[in-house]
């Protein structure tokens, strides 16, 4: 007699285990069904390709075919698909230099009927005797030679259609760059010789006359002074036309950021002067003359802060920007003004004049004062900038110092004269949300302090960051930052506290309070230091089109000696979220200190706009 197993006894499967086994079987069947359904619903090419042995050519044809989600439902539909696929295949064959092809659309019997395209590619046709035929008066000999070189069609290479069309475009661009602004391509003649399997392109180019440039004609209803625009031209009256010069003038105007729209174009031949020179027409539309900007930030260590800016554009009729700024935060209050004069005295050079009154209330010191300064920034390349500047501060600082084993306060009335020499490179792809590239900035600030204390010193800082994308559309980004700083010529007691290095807080080492990293006095007041090291690593992961997540670790050290020691380092780690506002992300981070000391909180929260670096 066959016994039915007793699953209720020890050693057998329980009811829960049977349910688990059945659940796994059900899940497996569901997965198989889903895979079969997915395969059935997957896109398929409109037709099968037969007769093409070359794998790269076959793949190119397959990629060109239209995809369908279902098979043909009748022979008529299959025949239509075959004809369409045949046309797509012919376009690919000609593009790859196959002109002696045979393409036969057909329908295979069966249910459902299948569209098929039978292809015999034939031999590859090769470039032979490419030439330029000039329509009308030809340009000078040098231009003709440069135009011939610009074709870049080598005899014996495959006669691809795209290469022939591209050669014509390069010829016209080269002739225009050499001063023939009206150069155009007339209908070309391409002989496809089936006897010797060659492609013989003949380009017909009308160069027109050599163009010499005059000055600039400004068309605007705004406030811009035409004489100022005229000084931005990278040519002199009588110079031969170069399209790059015209493009450079447009870039210089766009760099000012005071115009809603800019159009720069060469005037027609009918606008030529008596000497035959043609002006360049610049059409400008000013942006609104005034804007107001508001910003805010928050962290548990630094408190909340708001920023307001009132910006006026083009008051001096030379694309200038005047900014009145107010910052009101727990640690800093500032009211200031700045005027920016782009292309000052020469193109790509910006002069900035600024002044402000301020008050800083930090754990390490209190400072009240006023400052005036001037900076001159020169753009050396598209992404490289050099800045020289000078500033004068008049301030009163209250700080704590160790005195015979106890902490005593001191008040310093100071006048500080500081210079600035900085060089910056920015090869990142976005200011607020970089995903690839790198940035580097080096600064040197020779400083002379007089008043209740007198000390000259040099403050140097260098900061670099890099961004490495992974995955499709840079959905994952690994970001890193390193900052180094040193004060040379002044000891820790000589340099006023407001001029020392501090670390901790947002933009520094998250997880710690503002100024919380580094040496402290006996009453736990941050002392600051004369050397600094900071580093950060972030893993940024896109979750949806708007939301992203971040995991990060920051570390830093402050020392009263020229070189921080290993025991000076502190690290913090945390997680964050980002929400894309369109122009940049708003960020929220929570971080914990990995080496808490007395007075350090268990965690810190930071809210701001833009990535942390």
Encoding tokens for residue 349? Answer: 């050079």
Among the candidates 257, 286, 315, a domain finishes at 286
Cross-strand pairs, 533: 484, 557
Do 326 and 412 belong together in one domain?
yes
Could you count the other beta carbons within 10 Å of the beta carbon of residue 560?
17
Do 248 and 300 belong together in one domain?
no
Among the candidates 120, 143, 166, a domain finishes at 120
What 3-state class would DSSP assign to 543?
A: coil
Per-residue confidence (pLDDT) for residue 524, from 0 to 100: 87
In a domain, 5, yes or no: no
Find the CATH number of the domain harbouring 80.
3.10.20
In a domain, 38, yes or no: no
Average pLDDT over every residue of 461-477:
94
What average pLDDT does the chain have?
Answer: 89
Read off the pLDDT band of 404 (50, 70, 90): low
Average pLDDT over every residue of 567-588:
93
Do 469 and 601 belong together in one domain?
yes
In a domain, 2, yes or no: no
Contact 178, 144 (CB under 8 A): no
Do 540 and 456 belong together in one domain?
yes
Task: Pick the range with the lowest mean pLDDT from 149-153, 209-213, 402-406.
Answer: 402-406
Do 373 and 510 belong together in one domain?
yes
Per-residue confidence (pLDDT) for residue 40, from 0 to 100: 41
In a domain, 14, yes or no: no
Per-residue confidence (pLDDT) for residue 67, from 0 to 100: 78
Do 601 and 468 belong together in one domain?
yes
Read off the pLDDT band of 303 (50, 70, 90): confident
In a domain, 421, yes or no: yes
Average pLDDT over every residue of 131-137:
95
In a domain, 522, yes or no: yes
Task: Pick the range with the lowest mean pLDDT from 146-150, 281-285, 380-384.
Answer: 380-384
Do 424 and 439 belong together in one domain?
yes
Pairing state of beta strands 126-127 and 198-206? Answer: parallel
In a domain, 15, yes or no: no
Q: Concatenated DSSP letters for 418-486?
A: EEEEEEEEE--S-SSS--SEEEEEEEEEEEEEEESS-EEEEEEEEEEEEEEEESGGG-EEEEEEEEEEE
Do 75 and 153 belong together in one domain?
no
Do 169 and 149 belong together in one domain?
yes
Per-residue confidence (pLDDT) for residue 51, from 0 to 100: 87
Query: What CA dihedral angle connects 47, 51, 56 and 57, to 10 degrees?
Result: -70
In a domain, 431, yes or no: yes
Q: Which residue would you say has higher pLDDT here, 596 or 543?
A: 543
Read off the pLDDT band of 35 (50, 70, 90): very low
What 3-state class would DSSP assign to 343?
A: coil
What 3-state class would DSSP assign to 314?
A: coil
Among the candidates 103, 120, 137, a domain finishes at 120
Report d(CA 226, CA 486) in Å as an integer.
47
Q: Phi and psi (nearest 5°) for 23?
A: -65, -40
Find the CATH number of the domain harbouring 147.
3.10.20.310
Do 178 and 221 belong together in one domain?
no
Distant-in-sequence, close-in-space partners of 608: CB < 8 Å, separation ≥ 6: 297, 298, 299, 506, 586, 587
Residue listed under structure tokens 């600035």: 420
Report d(CA 553, CA 535) in Å as an integer.
9
Report d(CA 525, CA 209) in Å as an integer.
77
Average pLDDT over every residue of 542-571:
93
Do 110 and 194 belong together in one domain?
no
Pairing state of beta strands 259-266 and 198-206? Answer: unpaired
Residue listed under structure tokens 């030379």: 318
Could you count the other beta carbons within 10 Å of the beta carbon of residue 553?
18
- Structural domain count of the chain: 4
From the list 515, 459, 462, 518, the residue with the least C-alpha distance to 490 is 459
pTM as predicted = 0.77
Average pLDDT over every residue of 400-410:
73
Per-residue confidence (pLDDT) for residue 196, from 0 to 100: 93
Per-residue confidence (pLDDT) for residue 45, from 0 to 100: 75
Do 241 and 307 belong together in one domain?
no
Report d(CA 75, CA 87) in Å as an integer.
18
Identify the helix (H) or strand (E) that includes residue 75.
Answer: helix 75-95
**Which structural domain range is residue 104 located in?**
44-120
Average pLDDT over every residue of 65-91:
86
pLDDT at 38 over 60: no
């Amino acid at each position: 007699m066959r016994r039915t197993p007793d699953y209720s006894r020890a050693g057998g499967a329980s009811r829960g285990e049977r349910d688990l086994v059945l659940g796994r079987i059900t899940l497996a069947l569901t997965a198989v069904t889903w895979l079969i359904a997915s395969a059935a619903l997957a896109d398929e090419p409109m037709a099968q390709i037969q007769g093409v042995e070359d794998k790269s050519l076959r793949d190119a044809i397959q990629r060109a075919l239209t995809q369908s989600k279902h098979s043909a439902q009748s022979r008529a539909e299959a025949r239509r698909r075959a004809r369409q696929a045949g046309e797509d295949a012919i376009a690919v064959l000609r593009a790859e230099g196959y002109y002696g092809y045979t393409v036969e659309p057909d329908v295979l019997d069966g249910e459902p009927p299948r569209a098929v395209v039978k292809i015999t590619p034939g031999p590859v046709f090769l470039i032979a005797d490419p030439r330029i035929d000039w329509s009308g008066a030809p340009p000078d000999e040098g231009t003709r030679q440069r135009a011939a070189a610009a074709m870049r069609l080598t005899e014996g290479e495959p006669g691809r259609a795209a290469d022939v069309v591209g050669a014509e475009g390069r010829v016209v661009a080269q002739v225009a760059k050499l001063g023939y602004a009206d150069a155009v391509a007339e209908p070309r003649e391409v002989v496809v010789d089936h006897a010797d399997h060659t492609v013989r392109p003949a380009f017909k180019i009308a160069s027109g006359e050599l163009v010499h440039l005059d000055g600039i004609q400004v068309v605007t209803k705004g406030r811009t002074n035409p004489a100022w625009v005229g000084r931005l031209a990278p040519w002199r009256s009588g110079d031969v036309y170069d399209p790059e010069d015209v493009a450079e003038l447009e870039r210089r105007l766009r760099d000012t950021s005071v115009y809603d729209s800019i159009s720069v174009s060469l005037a027609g031949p009918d606008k030529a002067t008596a000497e035959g020179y043609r002006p360049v027409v610049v059409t400008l539309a000013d942006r609104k003359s005034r804007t107001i900007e508001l910003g805010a930030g928050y962290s548990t260590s630094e408190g909340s802060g708001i920023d307001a800016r009132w910006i006026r554009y083009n008051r001096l009729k030379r694309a200038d920007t005047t900014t009145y700024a107010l910052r009101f935060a727990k640690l800093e209050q500032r009211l200031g003004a700045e005027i920016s004069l782009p292309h000052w005295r020469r193109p790509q050079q910006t002069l900035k004049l600024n002044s402000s009154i301020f008050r800083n209330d930090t754990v390490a010191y209190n400072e009240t004062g006023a400052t005036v300064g001037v900076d001159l920034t020169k753009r050396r390349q598209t992404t490289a900038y050099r800045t020289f500047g000078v500033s004068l501060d008049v301030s009163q600082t209250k700080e704590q110092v160790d005195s015979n084993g106890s902490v005593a306060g001191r008040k310093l009335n100071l006048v500080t004269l500081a210079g600035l020499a900085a060089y910056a490179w920015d090869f990142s792809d976005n200011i607020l949300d970089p995903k690839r590239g790198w940035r580097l900035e080096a600064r040197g600030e020779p400083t002379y302090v007089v008043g209740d204390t007198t000390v000259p010193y040099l403050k140097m800082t260098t900061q670099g960051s890099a961004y490495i994308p992974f995955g499709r559309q840079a959905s994952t980004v690994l970001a890193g930052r390193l900052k180094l700083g040193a004060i040379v010529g002044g000891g820790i007691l000589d340099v006023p506290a407001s001029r020392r290095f501090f670390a901790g807080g947002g933009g520094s080492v998250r997880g710690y309070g503002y100024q919380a990293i580094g040496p402290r006095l006996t009453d736990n007041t941050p002392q600051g230091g004369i050397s600094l090291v900071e580093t950060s690593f972030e893993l940024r992961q896109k979750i949806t089109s708007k939301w992203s997540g971040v995991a990060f670790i920051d570390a830093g050290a402050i020392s009263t000696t020229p070189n921080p020691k290993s025991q000076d380092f502190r690290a913090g780690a945390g997680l964050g979220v980002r929400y894309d506002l369109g122009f940049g992300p708003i960020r929220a981070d929570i971080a914990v200190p990995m080496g808490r000391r007395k007075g350090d909180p268990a965690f810190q929260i930071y809210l701001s706009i833009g990535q942390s670096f």
